[in-house]
Structure 1
């Protein structure tokens, strides 16, 4: 199956061009064999959330690392478009790593871009499963999204109790347009990925945003089980033990590239 970088809707109602924020971290000794890694943050977050730790650490492991911020006034379709376009602009076939709602964006981008591999971190489920999971995990924060407002996430839901920078990180979060949250909650399941790239699901059994059952379902779609990191909050890339999941992701990626 060949990728469809542009689809009918892109011709008839093209996504508005914007200047995208893309942050980079490059290894000291670039390799022609290692694919670039493109990180995709979830709603409320920006590329900065990966630049704090994961971008530099990924570069130190020999991979060119990039992170793209969601556009300020966009849509789920526009976010997918931006990820596909940024990935296609990289010099080699990229690995896509999405977090939270960014994992949903990545899952849709995989139907249009032939990724070398993919990682879904703390993936927010789509459709009615997302609504039920969100209401169970975060009823007070989710209800506003069902009535036209943006949901609310607390510090306790995003980070473990021991993270000293939790409050500062939470203050950096921004509210995406409420319609985007509704689009995420009621999104249709993504089409099958182009080329069936190896896909890893990672998360925490203690995540107060995405329940364990949702992690299991996401991993089962790709024929595996989730890689779990107990004691961590939803924001794996910012939490106290941020090094554990990214090292596990890069170890897995190294094995996939060698196979």
Structure 2
């Protein structure tokens, strides 16, 4: 029987070694709290958390780390990197994934015993997400179906209050080339143990349909925590502080239980 933690494929076809970019804020970390590892979504790097959620979590007493996915890494390689970085931390970690990074976290939970996990605007259901992208931005999405770059727009990712110049600054940093496996992947494995899992999102997200949010939350035995008026980029939108404060509040309650 194969183990979800140590798989046969890891011995016969190991993931190639790669340098990993990890941004960390640990100076104010409390020793009684687990470290947080943030995993960004498609086309993003650690920078997506470095301006907002990372320092806010650190200010609340958590050692906060953000991992940049390896360039052109497939889902298996990204899961491998998350598990390796999490295992290198001094204490059992909390994984926080956004967008496609939430899918990576969901797979990683099948191999690494997380203290808890947060799936933010999770891209877990490939076909509904692809349909939403085609409806919201057909000309930016179609090239990606044939190996080209996915060109996202302000309306897809941000709420209406987002200043155009700020949205453009972030859009210029997102270089997304989706892999077919984001649509065709198998369901994520069940987590090792029974960790608490929080699903957060927005009913106004134009990337992840509300039905997908509900389905993901139900899978992990809860209901989604919603932030109306926000877009898909919960950590970059105007009211970015609301989700991370709610996430940290939830973590503090879970750690006390």
Structure 1 residue 149 displacement after superposition: 2.6
- When normalised by structure 2's length, the TM-score is 0.93
Structure 1 residue 134 displacement after superposition: 4.2
Structure 1 residue 5 displacement after superposition: 4.1
**Whole-angstrom distance in 2 between the partners of 1:141 and 1:117:** 35
Give yes or no for contact 1:126–1:186 (8 Å, CA) kept in 2.
Answer: no
> Gaps (5+ residues) in structure 2?
none
Question: Residues 110-139 of structure 1, C-alpha deviation per residue, up to 9 Å, x if partnerless?
Answer: 000000000000001235444445445554
Give yes or no for contact 1:207–1:233 (8 Å, CA) kept in 2.
Answer: yes
**Whole-angstrom distance in 2 between the partners of 1:39 and 1:231:** 23
> Gaps (5+ residues) in structure 1?
none
Give yes or no for contact 2:133–2:206 (8 Å, CA) kept in 1.
Answer: no
Where 2:172 maps in the other structure, the secondary structure is helix
Instruction: Name the structure 1 match of 2:193.
Output: 195
- Rate the CA distance shift 1:92–1:3 in 2: closer, same or farther, 3 A: farther
Instruction: Name the structure 2 match of 1:169.
Output: 170
- When normalised by structure 1's length, the TM-score is 0.92
**Whole-angstrom distance in 1 between the partners of 2:3 and 2:32:** 23
Instruction: Name the structure 1 match of 2:31.
Output: 32
Number of aligned positions between the proteins? 254
Superposition CA RMSD, Å: 1.8
Give yes or no for contact 1:126–1:187 (8 Å, CA) kept in 2.
Answer: no
**Matched ranges for 1:57-206 at <5 A:** 57-164=56-163, 165-176=166-177, 178=178, 180=179, 182-206=180-204
Where 1:31 maps in the other structure, the secondary structure is coil
**Whole-angstrom distance in 2 between the partners of 1:138 and 1:189:** 26
Structure 1 residue 163 displacement after superposition: 2.2
Question: Residues 212-258 of structure 1, C-alpha deviation per residue, up to 9 Å, x if partnerless?
Answer: 11101010101111000011110000110000000000000111110
Instruction: Name the structure 2 match of 1:11.
Output: 11
